[in-house]
Amino acid sequence: MKAGPKLPGEERELEAELREVYSLSKALKECPDVFSRLDSVFSSLKDPFHAISLLKEEKALTAPEIFVLAHFAFSAGRVRSIMAESEVKWPARTVVPSLEEVEKLLLPGFAGQPVFYIADSYSRELARLRAERKAKEKLLRDEMAKEAAEVERLLGRRPGLHEEIAIKKTNAEAVEKARLMPELGEVRKTLTHVHFRLKATREALRLEREISRLRQRETHLEGEVLASLSSDLRKWECDLERAAWAVGELDYLMRKAELAARWNAKEPAIRRGLSPLVLEGAFHPGVREEVEGRGGTYQPISIVLDSPVAVVTGPNMGGKTVSLATVGLCVALAQWGILPPCDRMEFSLYDYVYFQPEAPGKPGLSSFAAEVVALKELLVRTGDRGLILLDEVGRGTNPSQGLALYAAVLDYLRRKAGDRSHVMASTHYHGLASALDVPHWQVAGLTPSGELEESEAGNGKDLDWLYRHMDYRLVRVGPDTPVPQDALMVAKVLGLDREIIRRAEEFVGKTGPGDFGGMSRVEA
């Protein structure tokens, strides 16, 4: 970007952001493996902000919440290593502070993927209780194993500690024997079986009570450990938050850089005040993807909005709406710090981008009424800097009054906001640009070589024919240049009945293009 006059604060901030994205997009092309390694870290990253907010509130974290911070500290360390090993010049706000001390605290002596648990090393008393519990659990298993061995001796089957033994009702002798055994207790019956389970001995019951008491004490001590860890973590609360924001910024900038690399986007130039909006080789990514997906060739557009109002005309299905959307998208993306999909762009900042395509229907309102309501919402913002994109205003009413209303709206915007805003307005109306004496851009339209054979119309490939022969480029023309009269051609391409097409051509021949009002009757 060439050096220019010093920009005010918001422009400078945006310019710096766009420059960083452009720099990272170039680095992505040169060092794709670095970005791929970072992506592998981000793919498993867990959001630490909730746990950090609990630290700020001086609350004790749960084990899962501490695991999130442990995993984040580990991941932040991997990000730091990858960034340090690369030759990429990373933006300062993406440099992640060290969380090595947090790792040592939460992941003592671990290897491999981080798995947090309340280790014995956190509390001697906890370690002692766990050892005692495990010893008593072994005694319980041994005690119950004696009973299981006796059951096996008498019934030939050895039950597990919590396993049921199912004996068929038809084997009455075995059922009776099981009922008489002090080691077994009957638990339930089904239509075909009687179910038994080992009964705990007096010693086993005593051990179970001891184990339950130890578990309760163990849970209490684990809570104390979590509270202590939470208290210790507050020392690194600021570092954790800074690291979380840095990783988030890096991830966000990388996503922007990926888009820029995919679109081969260039860094736009930001100008002060209301300067011309210049776009060269601009495209709409979604539309381009759809066009190329069906084997077509996408045609970018170029346009210069160097006056308060500019009018765009063109044939049906000539891409006027897509052109408006493309201009709005490029500006909106640039103002969000995303490199726009175009070869070159110059613009000044807007407070808002207003895009009014075909007005959606609202309960109780016609399409025209809904359009008027939407316009009222726009007109209250004439004091702000705006990019205003209007698509076929007045299409839903009487043509002459629709044209008059459209012209009046554009004239109002020119007078009230002309020193702050750009208006780009598409229309089918002839004479709108000349009535206002404003720049007139026109879709090039169907190419002269595009002659439709009768056998081609409505044969299932009609849209392919239209796409092949429509030139979607915007061309600056004189204010009074006629609007293209391609509606009948489009209707023919789409397979409308040939008799209707021929009859319509006769009407046009009698009245002249765009002048159907003088025809008082339809001749037989």
User: Are residue 400 and residue 352 in the same domain, yes or no?
Assistant: yes
Q: Is the pLDDT of residue 523 over 80?
A: no
pLDDT surpasses 70 at 150:
yes
pLDDT tens digits, 297-309 = 889 999 999 999 9
Residue that terminates a domain, selected from 214, 233, 252 = 214
On whether both 105 and 232 belong to a single domain, the answer is yes
CA angle 314, 327, 255 (to 5 degrees): 140
- Edge-to-edge strands of the sheet including 301-305? 269-270, 344-347, 277-282, 301-305
Q: In the prediction, which pLDDT does 522 show?
A: 43
pLDDT at 116: 79
List, for residues 258-293, the tens digit of each pLDDT value: 999 999 999 999 998 889 999 999 999 999 998 888
State residue 462's pLDDT score. 60
What is the average pLDDT across 427-456? Answer: 77
Instruction: Give pLDDT, residue 28.
Output: 95
Q: Average of pLDDT values for 448-460?
A: 51
If one counts every other C-beta atom within 10 angstroms of the C-beta of residue 443, the result is 26
Going by pLDDT thresholds of 50, 70 and 90, the confidence category of residue 245 is very high
Q: What is the mean pLDDT of residues 437-459?
A: 68
54-63, 217-226, 369-378, 499-508: least confidently modelled range: 499-508
Spatial separation of the C-alpha atoms in residues 306 and 309, rounded to whole Å: 8
Residues 187-214 have pLDDT tens digits of 999 999 999 998 888 899 999 999 999 9
Q: Counting Cβ atoms within 10 Å, is residue 158 exposed (0-12), middle (13-18) or buried (19+)?
A: middle
368 by Cβ neighbours in 10 Å (0-12 / 13-18 / 19+) ranks as middle
Residues 6+ apart with CB under 8 A from 371: 356, 359, 393, 394, 396
Side chain identity at residue 367, one-letter code = S
Looking up tokens 């997009």 gives 25
Q: Are residues 362 and 421 in the same domain?
A: yes
How many CA atoms lie within 13 Å of 39's alpha carbon, on the beta-carbon side? 11
pLDDT-derived band at 453 (thresholds 50, 70, 90) equals low
Would residue 504 count as lying in a domain?
A: no
pLDDT value at position 66?
Answer: 93
Model pLDDT, residue 295? 81
- Exposure b/e, 31-53, CB count within 10 A at least 16 = b: eeebbebbeebeeebeebeebbe
**Predicted local confidence at residue 511, as pLDDT:** 57
1 pLDDT higher than 50? no
- Residue 503 located in a structural domain: no
| Residue range 306-349, pLDDT digits in tens | 999 999 998 877 789 999 999 999 999 999 999 999 999 999 99
pLDDT at 128 (0 to 100) = 94
78, pLDDT greater than 70: yes
Q: How confident is the model at residue 516 (pLDDT cuts 50, 70, 90)?
A: very low
Tokens of 450: 């595009």
Predicted pLDDT of residue 445 = 78
Per the structure, the count of domains in the chain is 3
Residues 1-29 as b or e (16 or more Cβ within 10 Å = b) = eeeeeebeeeeeebbebbebbbbbbebbe
Tokens representing 324 are: 């408006």
Does pLDDT of 220 surpass 50?
yes
What is the per-residue DSSP string for 207-229? HHHHHHHHHHHHHHHHHHHHHHH
Judge if 378 and 451 occupy the same domain: yes
Whole-number Cα distances in Å, 66 to 92, 247, 296, 324, 325:
28, 19, 53, 50, 47
User: Residues 113, 128: one domain?
Assistant: no
What are the counts of helices (DSSP H) followed by strands (DSSP E) for the chain? 17, 13
- pLDDT category at 500 given cuts 50, 70, 90 is confident
* Residues 378, 355 share a domain: yes
pLDDT above 90 (res 119): no
Residue 396 scores a pLDDT above 70:
no
Whether residues 289 and 397 fall in one domain: yes
CATH number at residue 353: 3.40.50.300
Residue 64 in any domain: the answer is: yes
Give the Cβ contact number of residue 294 at 10 Å.
Answer: 9
Q: Stretch 375-392: mean pLDDT, rounded?
A: 90
Domain annotation covers residue 518: no
Mean pLDDT of the chain: 86
Indicate if 253 and 381 belong to the same structural domain.
no
| 1 is a domain residue | no
pLDDT at site 509: 64
Number of neighbouring beta carbons within 10 Å of residue 132: 15
Pick from 178-182, 323-327, 398-402, 507-511 the range whose average pLDDT is largest: 323-327
Looking at residue 101, its pLDDT comes to 94
What mean pLDDT is predicted for residues 112-140? 87
In a domain, 505, yes or no: no
* 114-118, 172-176, 421-425, 435-439: the lowest-pLDDT one: 114-118
**Residue 72's pLDDT band (boundaries 50, 70, 90)?**
very high
Q: Cα separation of 363 and 333, whole Å?
A: 33
What is the domain-level CATH number for residue 247?
1.10.1420
Whether the predicted pLDDT of 520 surpasses 90: no
pLDDT at 463 over 90: no
Range list of H helices, 336-427: 367-379, 399-417
Contact between residue 355 and residue 389 where contact means Cβ atoms under 8 Å apart: yes
pLDDT digits (tens, 9 = 90+) for 345-367: 999 999 999 998 655 555 555 77
491 in any annotated domain:
no
CA 60/CA 65 separation, integer angstroms: 10
Domain enclosing residue 422, as ranges: 269-484
Instruction: Give the C-alpha separation, 316 to 487, whole Å.
Output: 6
The answer as to whether 477 is a domain residue is yes
How much is the pLDDT for 506?
74
107 and 143 inside one domain: no
Percent over 70 (pLDDT), the chain: 87
- Which range is most confident: 115-129, 134-148, 326-340, 431-445? 326-340
**99 and 206 part of one domain:** no
Query: 296 and 255 in one domain?
Result: no
Same domain for 413 and 301?
A: yes
